[in-house]
Amino acid sequence: MSTAIPSTECNSISSFPSIGFGTDLLGLKKYYDRVVSDLKKAETLGQVDTVLQELHEVYLECSEEGWDGYDAQSISEAAYVEVRKFIEYLPLISSIPVPEIIPEPGGEIGLEWSRGTRQVFIASFAGNNEIIYAGLFGTNKTHGTEYFGDSIPSKIMDNLKILSF
Amino acid sequence: MNAHPTLNNAPIAEALIDIRVKLPATLKVEIIDTIYDAIKDKYPDKQEQKISELKLDLRSEDTVNSSGAIVNGYRYISSDKKQIVQTRLDGFTLSRLHPYVKWDEMRDEAFRLWELYKDITSPDSIIRVAVRYINILNIQLPIKDFGDYLSAPPIVPDGLPQGISSFLNRIVISEPSIGASAIITQALEQIALDAAPIILDIDAFKLKPNGMEEKDAWEAIDQLRHFKNRIFFNSITDRLKEEYK
């Protein structure tokens, strides 16, 4: 008899622990990724695909220094990979709005979720396993830094849930 | 014959009819977009559908180069955003989002759009047809036993803690009588405060790598719908069926 228990971390089913190098493990990861990819082919479960496409376009557009017409640093591949992972780890079923991709002059990539001007949450990724975030929810403000490994930190998810429909 | 009960509150989040084809190699993707003129009244919002393309260059030290995204088809979205048509170089898909309409209505619309797609692209062959239904079983907490709701619940070995916060289970079954298969996926990603949104994804399909006749393809789609229904009603318990009646 199995029962349901809540979890505070967002352990997305898209997340397959990537520690390990054996050929069997890599084969299993490939298979797992394909299963999840098949699942996401539906409109309902694949909402993040459009965001991933936009992310790829932003990465290509901003991969050289001075992309903003001034002296912006190029978006690093590490930041791109990290944001990609974060987006893929977002829950398949969710009422959280899709984020907007914002390249930052320091070479980081920002994700912005908003519902009007007073409900905004921004997370910034530099490719160093850290998420720097700031949020404005009406008159309340929040900010901080969270470690980002194989799941979306619960603090980030708690903030995103405030923006749920 | 329909032996299954009618569910007035069926948990369908999305229903799809999908047809994969082999198109003439010379067909340009822009040609597919000419369908827009015929459907823009009902599907006014158009988007390009892109895939990432990787090029292998064995002569250079950097053996893999990303060459960006290329357009492989289009998505057309209805005014109410409840219906989405995809027309791609590898096929055609109609998605109906919640709230679900009757099967006949969806099938007729898929057939109408398919005719347009077919006239524009002249497919060499139809390779695969599928009927896919994604159900979100929002089960109210507390759940004492997943077996109260799912006929094939996730199993944790005896002697281990029985609390589950997430699971993903995928099986592929065959139905030789109609030459079809189905991918059945049950997944729970995270449990909200008051409910567990379990995904029950049923993708019933028929694959004919050498191609199938158009008439046979549409007959198969009807058969796949019945196969999908059998899977759904055998995947949930009577208790859950009662909740959806």
Same domain, B162 and B86: no
Residues B85 and B146 in one domain: no
Say if A57 is an interface residue toward chain B (CB within 8 Å).
Answer: yes
Same-domain check for residues B75 and B4: no
Chains A, B: CB contacts under 8 A, how many? 106
Q: Print the domain residue range for B220.
A: 1-14+130-245
A53: chain B residues, CB-CB within 8 Å: 50, 69
Please state the domain extents for chain A.
47-162
pLDDT tens per residue, range B84-128:
999 999 999 999 999 999 999 999 999 999 999 999 999 999 999
Extract the runs of DSSP E, i.e. beta strands, from chain A: 3-4, 100-103, 109-114, 119-125, 130-137, 140-147
Query: What are the respective helix, strand and coil percentages of chain B, to the nearest 5?
Result: 25, 45, 30
Last residue of a domain, one of B99, B122, B145: B122
- Residue A39 has its nearest CB partner, among B162, B191, B201, at B201
Long-range contacts (CB closer than 8 Å, 24 or more residues apart) made by A20-23: none
> Are residue B160 and residue B87 in the same domain, yes or no?
no
Q: Determine contact: A37 vs chain B, CB below 8 A.
A: no
Looking at chain A, which residue has its C-alpha nearest residue B165? Answer: A5
Per-residue pLDDT of chain A (165 residues; tens, 9 = 90+): 888 887 666 567 777 776 777 788 788 888 888 888 888 888 888 878 888 989 999 999 999 999 988 899 999 999 999 999 999 888 887 778 889 999 999 999 999 999 888 899 999 999 999 999 999 999 999 999 999 987 888 899 889 988 876
Subunit contact B162:A2, Cβ cutoff 8 A: yes
What total of structural domains would you count in chain B? Answer: 2
Q: Which of B121, B139, B42 is nearest to A4 (CA)?
A: B139
Residue contact B183–A44, C-beta within 8 A: no
Same domain, B10 and B28: no
Residues B177 and B201 in one domain: yes
**pLDDT for B174:** 95
Point out the domain boundary residue: B79, B96, B122.
B122
CA angle, corner B139, sides to A50 and B100, nearest 5?
55
| B28 within a domain of the structure (yes/no) | yes
Low-confidence ranges of chain B (pLDDT < 70): 1-2, 52-69, 191-193
pLDDT of residue A35: 86
DSSP code at position A110: E
User: Beta B45-56 vs B12-22: how paired, if at all?
Assistant: unpaired
Boundary of a domain, candidates B69, B93, B122: B122
Same domain, B103 and B157: no
Whether B164 sits inside 8 A of A10 (CB atoms) is no
Cα torsion B222, B223, B226, B227 to 10°: value is -140
- pLDDT attached to residue A126: 95
Q: Are residues B101 and B159 in the same domain?
A: no
Q: For all residues of chain A together, what is the average pLDDT?
A: 87
> CA B230 to CA B218: how far, in whole Å?
19
Residue B7 lies in a domain: yes
In a domain, B19, yes or no: no
ipTM above 0.85, yes or no: no
- Say whether A42 and B141 touch across the interface (CB within 8 A): no
